[in-house]
Structure formats: C-alpha cells, structure tokens
Structure 1
Amino acid sequence: MFRYGNTNVDAIKLKLFPSSLSGDAKVWFYELSPGVITTWEEMRQAFVSRFFSLAKFDRLMGEIRGFSQHPNESLVDAWIRMKDLLCSCHGHGLGRGTIIQIFYHGLDEATQAILAARGIFLCRTPNEAHQLLKDRVLLKLDWYKDIKAKPLRKTVAFAENRDNS
C-alpha cells in the first residue's frame, strides 16, 4: 500500500477496495447507497457480514479443526491445503501454536515420524516450528523426494537397456 502526503490510510483502503472486487461483490458494492459507509471498519464489517456468513465461518472452522492428511498426499501438499483453509476463513483467530498442533495431529503417522525425526516439534516454540516447517523442512523434503526418485528411474532405464542387449 502507498501513502501520499497526509492521506489517511483508511481513506486509501476505501478508495482501493472497489478495484479488488468482482462478480457479486462488485455488484453489492455499487448498489450501496452513497454515504452509508464512511469508515474502513464499517466497510470491512459490512463486507464480511454480507459475504462471510456465520454458517460459512463455522463450516470452515470445522474443516480446519478436523484437518487430516489425505492418502498419498505429500507433506508439502498437506501444508499448502492447510494454509488455503486458513486463508479462506477470515478472522479464524487461531495462533501459530494451535495451527501447528492441528496440522501435526492431522498428519498420518509416517509423516509425523519424519517431522519428529527432524526435531520440528520437539523443544520448539510455535513460531520456531512454524518457521522451520515453512522455510526448511518443506524445501528439504521436496528436494529429497526429487533426488530419491531420479536414481530409481535411471536404474529402471539401465535394467531395461541391459535386458534388450
């Protein structure tokens, strides 16, 4: 976001907000009576109450709290899906510690064992565990998966070529 001179940040948000909308949200915005909403907080509350009902919030919170890793889903894909759920649930209010606990307990035993072996959830604060999961482990596991898969393909190709000789 930018700031020009002494312009109020809320005024900037109100000016930029319509350009972020599409579909039903854009129609809703342009049907608002002029002057009804005068502050950013009023706009935020009106938008959330219109497009983010309590029933939807409860459903999404249930999905987050009931998170579980799908069969054959990688740790990376599970983490991305968890992050998508969190982003879709405006105002979930969950701290990093709670998010990490829900995520970890939703993983299958094999994935939990990988994380435990790497010390991700042992003697770590929620922020440290979150950061390690985000920055290091996912990249290393993804890299390791690629490296491990490549020699297997070469071995299979070599064996096939040897059989044809």
Structure 2
Amino acid sequence: MDDEPMWAADHVVTLIPSSAITIPESAKEFAIKGNHLTLVKGNQFDGRTKTDPHKHIHEFLRIRDMFKYRDIENEVVRLMMFPLSLTGEAKTWLDELNEGTIETWDEI
C-alpha cells in the first residue's frame, strides 16, 4: 500500500494551499533571486525546543537585509521569503494558521 502513487491513494491532496501570510497584489509578479533563496533556506528554523526563534529571526533579517530590491518594499520581500526559512514543526505551525492571519512583518 505504501508503494502506491499518491494519486492512487484514498485521500485528498490540496493542490494550492492557502497561506497565512498575505502578500500584496502588487508583488504577485515579483520574483526573488535564486541565490538569495538558497541563503535563506540554509538558515531554516525547525521549531524544536533546543532552537532559538529569536536567533533565527535575527539571522533571517541579517541575510534578508543584505539584498536590495528595486520596485518593492523590504517588508513584502521579508513576508515572501520567511516561509522558506521554516521547516519541520515550525513550517507546520505556519501552514496551520488561518489564511490571511499575517499581513505585516510585525505580526510575524
């Protein structure tokens, strides 16, 4: 049973998950550079008790603030990149928040 392809299983797979973080419509066509994403993904927070969320946020902001993007606000870039800095239980926490729960960086 475990070797069956996911489309053959008796469960529903959500194709497009909703997001707890609201990204402004003006940023929908904006793309973050791949090497910037690589740096953010290299500093992922897993939400375990032995990891420090404050240290993660500080490091995330340090990495994020190394880049300058024209035509888009820094806060929007932070909101777009932040989910990629989470993994494991921290990512699950974010994914389980109601859609549109977070609209500003301060709310994170």
TM superposition score category, shorter chain reference: 0.3 to 0.5
Instruction: State the structure with more CA Rg.
Output: 1
Larger relative helix fraction: 1
Higher relative contact order (CA 8 A, sep 6+): 2
TM-score (norm 2): 0.44
